Chain A
Amino acid sequence: MKNLKIQSLLAMLFLMLPLFSLGQDKPSGLEIIQNVYNRPEGNNIQSELTMTLINSRGDERVREIKQFSKEFKKVEKKIMFFMAPADVRNTSFMNWSYDEKNKDDDQWIYLPALKKTKRISSDSKSDSFMGSDFTYDDLGDRHPSDDTHKLLREEKLNGEDCYVVESIPKDEEYMYSKTITWIIKDKWIGLKKEFYDEDGEFLKTLSVKKYEQIKGFWIITESEMHNEQKNHTTNMKLQNITIDGGIADNKFTERMMKRGLK
């Protein structure tokens, strides 16, 4: 009788062992998101972006953009030039995003037909990025401390082991009420993300189609955002990527915006 009891106790402990060890290994939701946020991407990057907008009828519009970005001390600067379509060629867009909390981005646009650089206000991070299904906020890095994160489960997606993390914004007025992200373990790449609108209704899905290791950095080279409510899709593809190839500090000025691509 006694023996049996000890045996079963041992058996139970043995069975619970993997659970304990798993519990120790498992990072919290916040930790996972922090790892994604801190994933290194290089100091400066230059690439060509092909943005394809697809509406519910399957009509497509394609925009080609050459973009440069560079990490400065307290600011990340980005400049983009339209290559196509022809009627907007050399229209340029510049964005300075500050690390400092609560400081809005500075944004400029240069319209060659008007020969004027204009500031555009950026208090609306929920605005669509160039008519796409991405908002400015979707493209930038949202600070992990802005949301409350919770690890929901672990599961395989597209053959990768992923953490599934739910993030709920602390600001109730934020455009999303909830996002759910599938993050590849140890690569810390978000493979898929679901967005729920301010009323809690399912809004859109971001799917990463392709990611490559370039110069040791994991770079997402193709992603697609599908807006379920509008049945509209945006595909973004990066080509000719140069990482840390060196971009002059003075690339990010109004003068350079006006100069355009030669």
Chain B
Amino acid sequence: MEKFLNRVLNFPWLIMVVILVISALFFKAMTANSHMETNLDKYMPQEHPAFVYSNQAEEWFNINDGIIIAVENKEGIYNSGTLKKVKDLTKALQKMDEIEKEDVTSLYTADNIIGTDDGMDVKAFYKRVPKSEEKLQELQQKVRSNEMIYKRLVSEDEKVTVIIAEIKDDVFSQEFYNNILNLAKSFEGPEILHVAGRPIVEGTMALLGPADMKRMVPIVLVVIILVLLWVMRSFKNTLFTMLVVLFSTVWTFGLMAVVNIPIYAVSTMIPVMLIAIGVADGIHLYSHLDLYLLGHPKATRLEAVRDMIHGMWKPVVMTSVTTAVGFISLLTSEVYPIKYFGLFTAFGVMAAMLFSLVLIPAGVLLFGLPKRKKVVVKEDEERDHIAFKLAENLMRYKYITIIAVALIAVISIIGIGKVWINSSFLEKFEKDSDIVLTDEFINQNFGGTSTLNIILQGKDEDTFKQPAALRLIDEMQDEAEKLAVVGNSFSLADYLKRMNKVMHADSAEFDAIPGSNELVAQYLLLYEMSGDPENLWKVVDYKYNKANVTLQLKSDNSKAINAAIAVVEKFKAPLAAENIEIKYAGSGYKGLVFTDLILEGQIKSLVLSLIIIVVLLSLMFKNFYIGLIGAVPIVITALISFGIMGLMNIPLSTTTALVSSIAIGIGIDYAVHFIERYKIYALKTQDKAITIRETMLHSGRAIIFNAFVVIAGFLVLLASVFPPNRSLGALVSLNMFTSFLGTVTIMFIILYVSNIYFKKK
């Protein structure tokens, strides 16, 4: 390898040109062929049973996510102006290409089931906008007396009414999103319009996250460049270190474009990983070069580069291979975007390795050694001194460190027990952002902006014409509605109770499930004869053997959904006695399953990569204990990372879970560089005191630079407007810091105590 590198480095210009040309080609492919994938459904493993079922159920009952437009009039909604707006807006929505006509629900389209002196009628609340005071009051009374509408479509204080437009999964686009917002805006004054609902939340997130990243990444890069300039004190070194990052990113995304794989939201994390990892090699290489030049001020370019390659190729290759393997372990995930993320990041890491080994030396050969002033050397000496002191003090007080680490580990483990998973999209936004405030507003006035669909499946046709089954559904709804988070529920039972009541002169006594199978069937026939039968197919299927119970939730977070599911599961046994099975569907539920899948995959791959890394390190250093010792910083970093999340109540989400990959990628780099240096000095000097001092000076210095650069860069993300990007910044910084600390303290001590590489005296 070393020979090969040296031979290649005989042609530094050629290296430069080849790399530039390939990069240009990849860049061209990237600009021509890259596209973002924003459809969240594409992220989910479609063959997973929970998704297959949910998608099927969504088709049975035409379950779609709804865009909720709330029309608020502080004077109350019962005036012809507001009612006309509701009608016009409903019609405008119905005319949009992305929306099916029947999928818009508002006071204008809703059916009013009413009892008359001698029968029942299903009517619209209004067709022509009521003008006279008398007619307006009549409408108000109609709404108040219909529990299927009051507090569902019209708020209790009668100042807000909602229009719900359901849309299919795959029609959402930036353009549609803008059209909806503009449409709502055009209806404002004096009414206030609020737009919410899951499609809006997903849409905003899909747009806001990457947009924020686009804004923040250049700032991150600038900060990293500035810090690099400061620690390396060389423009050239900084330039080449950044070129390594840049080229590896271009190659990675270029390859993605060439093999025609779209950019997923998680893929935007790839540059983050490559910045953190790519910078490391450069720092270590230049740090080695600096130290060599310190000892050999007269050395030529070639001599210096030869020594750099000789001393560093091994740790650079080892760190890169172990890091890449860590990412490749993500292939065990069931989620395709994560598989791709792992695969392409691994490719990027290997590309960064290649550039570090050829581009950086070629740069030195072509553009000369970094200039050093005498003063600078003096400063370095001073710092060396600190490194020596640190090393000695660490060894002197090693038990304090060990106890401290043990304590931190215990606290972290307690914290990990508190970690919870959050599949909420809404909670990714600022508490005072428009989207969250609108959501709160609608949740206050109505049942809730999130839904959980409970799909009941009976064995026989007409199962849901049986009073026993319907009564269980009714009870289940009552139980669920006792939860604070469940605002409302809706099912076939609501239709039957309403009809039973109006057919008995609005007597509250009959606000119950009808007593016989025949009566249920005849009410349903009556409804079909007088109302729009389409509405029934949203709550029950054609053959009456499947039913859809919708719970409206005031939050889309995992705790809320799980609480509702827990209540529903209590009815499992009684429903089973009626030969009815419970299943779930809808985007909220899919989101929950999806998050679980991601985390499960993440934890699996974390464990797997840890094992692989221990094996790899053992093989590389031909010593099993070194494998174990090398894993120490990773374990500590992961423990602290998850521990802090638990203790600070930061929920695990797709982004925060992926950050643990960094823990491995970086943690292993530090460990390998450090151990390699330790091994070299130990074998050379056979003197523990010198070994620890020199290792701390050489490797410790590079590690601290590396940590400092990346932490400074990622702390910039704390200024991001998108909370998930903020937690990303905080967690990457934290992981860098703990990796660094873990390496130079506890791993260092264990290495020292283990006496590996020292012959027993």
Contacts and interface: CB of A to CB of B under 8 A. Distances in A.
Question: Do A and B share a complex?
Answer: yes
Interface of A: 53, 55, 57, 59, 61, 82, 85, 87-88, 91, 93, 108-109, 111-114, 116, 118-121, 124, 127-131, 173, 199, 229-230
B518 A88 contact: yes
A87 B522 contact: yes
Contact of B522 (A112, A199, A230): A112
B732 to A, nearest CB: 49
B521 interface: yes
Q: Which of A91, A113, A173, A229 has the most CB of B within 10 A?
A: A113
Contacts of A59: 541-543
A87 B529 contact: no
Contacts of A113: 514, 516, 518-519, 521-522
A128 B528 contact: yes
Contacts of B534: 230
Interface string B520-533: 11110110111111
A197 to B, nearest CB: 8
A59 B60 CA distance: 11
- Chain A binding surface, main DSSP class: loop
Contacts of B84: none
Residue of A57, A59, A119, A121 with most partner-chain B CB within 10 A: A121
Interface of B: 94-95, 101-102, 116, 118-123, 127-128, 462, 465, 503, 514, 516-523, 525-526, 528-534, 537, 541-543
A108 B503 CA distance: 14
B116 A119 contact: yes
Contact of B529 (A116, A130, A199): A130
Of residues A85, A87, A88, which shows the largest number of chain B Cβ atoms within 10 Å of its Cβ?
Answer: A87
A255 to B, nearest CB: 16
B528 A131 contact: yes
Contact of A131 (B503, B529, B543): B529
Contacts of A111: 519, 522-523, 526
A130 B526 CA distance: 8
B542 A55 contact: yes
A87 B101 contact: no
A128 B526 CA distance: 11
5 contacts: A87-B518, A112-B518, A114-B503, A120-B121, A230-B102
Nearest to B523: A111
B528 A130 contact: yes
> Looking at A82, A88, A173, which has the most chain B CB atoms within 10 Å of its CB?
A88
Contacts of A55: 537, 542
A230 B94 CA distance: 14
Nearest to B536: A131
Given A87-B462, A128-B528, A173-B127, A118 B522 contact: no
A87 B465 CA distance: 9
A118 B118 contact: yes
Q: Which 5 A-B pairs have the closest CB atoms?
A: A131-B528, A118-B119, A87-B521, A113-B519, A113-B518
Residue among A59, A91, A118, A119 facing the most chain B CB atoms (10 A cut-off): A118
Contacts of A114: 503, 519, 522
Contacts of A85: 521
A128 B503 contact: no
B120 A130 contact: no
B465 A61 contact: no
A111 B462 CA distance: 18
B651 to A, nearest CB: 39
B332 to A, nearest CB: 37
Nearest to A201: B101
A61 B121 CA distance: 24
A109 B465 contact: no
A121 B119 contact: yes
Contact of B530 (A53, A127, A199): A127
Given A130-B528, A230-B102, A91 B123 contact: no
A119 B117 CA distance: 9
A61 B543 contact: yes
Contacts of B102: 229-230
B529 A109 contact: yes
B471 to A, nearest CB: 17
B608 to A, nearest CB: 43
Contact of A128 (B514, B532, B542): B532
